[in-house]
Amino acid sequence: MGFAATPVARVLSVKKPSSTTARPRSVWTPSFRTRKKRLAPLVATNSRKTSAGTGIPPASGPRPRQVWEALSAREAAFLAVECSLTQGHDVAEDVDGSDALDGRPSQGSGGVGGALSNRYLLTQLALWSEKHKPSRVEYALAKIIAFNAVRQRALFDYVLQTNIVRDRSAIDQEPHRIKSEGMHLSIAQRALLHTALAQYAFMERVPVYTIVFSTVEIAKTYFGQRFAAFANAILRNLVRYGEKYAADLESRRPASYIVRPLPFPADALDVRYSYPAVFASRVFGQLLNRKRLVAFLEAGNMTPQTFLRVPRQHAQHEDLKMAIERRLLVPWSDQDSTETVSRPWIIYRVDLQCAGEDPGAALPLTLPSANGTGWADDPANVLTRSLFQRLLQHFIAQNVTQAEHTFLLCEQLRQRWDKERRIARVLDLCTAPGGKLTAVFEYLQYSDLGDAQTEYIGIDLSDQRIHMVHENVDKTPGMRESRVFVGVARGESFVDCRAGNILRSEDERAVSPCFDLVIADVPCTNSGVLNRRPEARWRLDEQHFASSVPRLVSLQASLLNRACLLSRSAVFYMTCSVLHAEGRDLVRSVLENHRDFELVWDHLTYTDAAGRDGGYAAMLWRRPSH
């Protein structure tokens, strides 16, 4: 049976394999009815399989549309992963820090139509999505498969090696072509097998038969019969191999998110949790505790959580009350639920499972959800999801770590600030999408440190992302009516903003301290948000630590340096990295040249299973002049 989905390849403009064995693609049949007909035999076989020993009751077996969606999503994921495997991104290039909520980069974050390179996984998926108009189910599936395939690259290469490669050093020597006896894996073939493994390991509800079937179908279309037979053999072998290891793994407590056993070395944590070895060992060097390291590495492989920051004065919002009633929003347990002067917002965790979403499932939106609230396409669940979309129009999505760091920094500021004066001018050097600037605004208004005359200036390098700041300003009560200026500029050459014009200079002598508070929430390696940025970890290998990471650190130092020059009182320095090189050590080295400032408070949070992002926050305070 043919697999008709060539438009995906055209949309993603991924190079076709040059192999002479590649079979001509089957004819594209755009009508759903036709595709459904062609896939009908699969559906019948599949239902038999599901009831025959996979543990899935026949009633929840895939329905025709789902099978099509599963195949099509799998192909899109495969092409996106191939693209991601081909590219060696520069860490200093990936400055946008985008963490689009549902993973679709918006226009402004450099996604479709944006200026950002289209080499990224999410951008590839967005391009496919824009052209192919997949259903929500199809998109969610493709994203989950692709994210896991990219995150688990090291583990999956190890699995393939132990299955097909006799010589372990082959991958290191020739990463783009794994050699085994008589079989060469191209990048595209490797990507296809990675997506198969991603389904096998993480999607417990996908029957093994379906994984093998779709792999073979895609393999036939792209690589020809010979590779299809090879892929089939590899996967079947793996299932046998996995079973053999199951008992062994159980005794070693396999990572809870791996739902089916894969052979992995018990001691090599970098392979087992799939990180570049040098990064894992650096974090170990900081934590000096194997258990905490494992918790951190595991958290980086989990589905990221979404949080909403709700201003207290909006606590009675109708949609909000309904969302709390339906348990779509759950108050973050650590926060003080009573109103205090200093905490002007309530943080809620979004529990999309209550809307039938189950990120670990095979078909996240159409199978019964994990917590038993019915089918995801049940009208009640559809309503809950549309409620979530409405909430996003009113409230800012911000991770609890970012909100908490901003709160703690503001508290430090309040303790030191002369109560007789109001804060007159605030500058944010890297403002997009505006999460910190709006939080600081809320805090200053709420605590009376600021007033109607307080001026807020936010600049960012990326004009693509500046419009997101405007959206977030509009969501912040009272901010649009205040003295707010948002513009595009490089932070390290910013001098001031007068009458709506941005003044810049490379010359430090042109800079004078004219802001009470300067925020430098700098671009970083994203090592604290690796669960959101599947590709980011691969830019933390030996080679990048020697080349692009130092360049990024030097940009961070320039931005912090400029922040100190511009501030007459406080500097907030923040990153979403857990590496000391971008946090504590960097602050200390910049302070060497700014004896007029002292570090009064800092905090490093590691990514954790509760959903906290990793990140660093520090407050520098200008010493009183004598």
Smallest distance, ligand SAM to C-beta of residue 52, A: 50
CA distance 614 to 589: 22
Q: Is 576 a catalytic residue?
A: yes
Q: Does 199 bind ligand SAM (CB under 6 A)?
A: no
Q: Which of 108, 114, 146, 137 is nearest to 127 (CA)?
A: 114
Residue pair 493/566 in contact (Cβ under 8 Å)? The answer is no
Residue pair 141/76 in contact (Cβ under 8 Å)? The answer is no
Exactly one of 61, 62, 97, 611 binds ligand SAM (CB under 6 A); which one? 97
List all residues 6 or more positions away from 572 whose beta carbon is below 8 Å from its beta carbon: 406, 409, 436, 440, 517, 518, 519, 520, 521, 617, 618, 619
Q: Does 583 bind ligand SAM (CB under 6 A)?
A: no
- The binding track of 385-424 with respect to ligand SAM, each residue x by CB under 6 A or -, is ----------------------------------------
Count of C-beta atoms within a 10 Å radius of residue 299: 22
CA distance 453 to 241: 69
Among the residue ranges 157-165, 187-195, 351-359, 428-436, the one whose residues contact ligand SAM (CB under 6 A): 428-436
- The binding track of 479-518 with respect to ligand SAM, each residue x by CB under 6 A or -, is -----------xxx--------------------------
**Cis omega before residue 433 (within 30°)?**
yes
DSSP, res 368: B
Q: Give the total of residues touching ligand SAM (CB under 6 A).
A: 20
Q: Is 521 annotated as a binding residue?
A: yes
Strands of 329-331's sheet, edge to edge?
329-331, 345-350, 306-311, 396-397
Q: Does 534 bind ligand SAM (CB under 6 A)?
A: no
Smallest distance, ligand SAM to C-beta of residue 555, A: 6
Q: Does 434 bind ligand SAM (CB under 6 A)?
A: yes
Exactly one of 56, 79, 95, 570 binds ligand SAM (CB under 6 A); which one? 95
Q: Does 50 bind ligand SAM (CB under 6 A)?
A: no
Q: Does 460 bind ligand SAM (CB under 6 A)?
A: yes
Exactly one of 143, 153, 282, 465 binds ligand SAM (CB under 6 A); which one? 465
Catalytic residue, candidates 430, 497, 564, 576? 576
- Pick 164 or 518: Cβ nearer ligand SAM: 518
Query: What does the buried/exposed string (b/e) look like for 108-131 if buried means 16 or more CB atoms within 10 Å of the residue's CB?
Result: bbbbbebebeebbbbbbbbbbbee
CA distance 167 to 452: 69
Query: What does the buried/exposed string (b/e) look like for 410-447 if buried means 16 or more CB atoms within 10 Å of the residue's CB?
Result: bebbbeebeeeebbbbbbbbbbbbbbbbbbbbbbbbbb
Measure Cα distances from 259 to 204, 224, 249, 268 in Å: 6, 31, 11, 20
Q: Does 582 bind ligand SAM (CB under 6 A)?
A: no
Exactly one of 303, 373, 462, 556 binds ligand SAM (CB under 6 A); which one? 462
Q: Does 105 bind ligand SAM (CB under 6 A)?
A: no
Among the residue ranges 128-136, 156-164, 201-209, 460-468, the one whose residues contact ligand SAM (CB under 6 A): 460-468
Q: Is 460 annotated as a binding residue?
A: yes
**Residues of the shown chain interacting with ligand SAM in the complex, contacts defined by CB under 6 A:** 95-97, 429-436, 460-462, 465, 490-492, 521, 523
- Which sequence positions are flagged as catalytic? 576
Binding residues for S-adenosyl-L-methionine: 460, 521
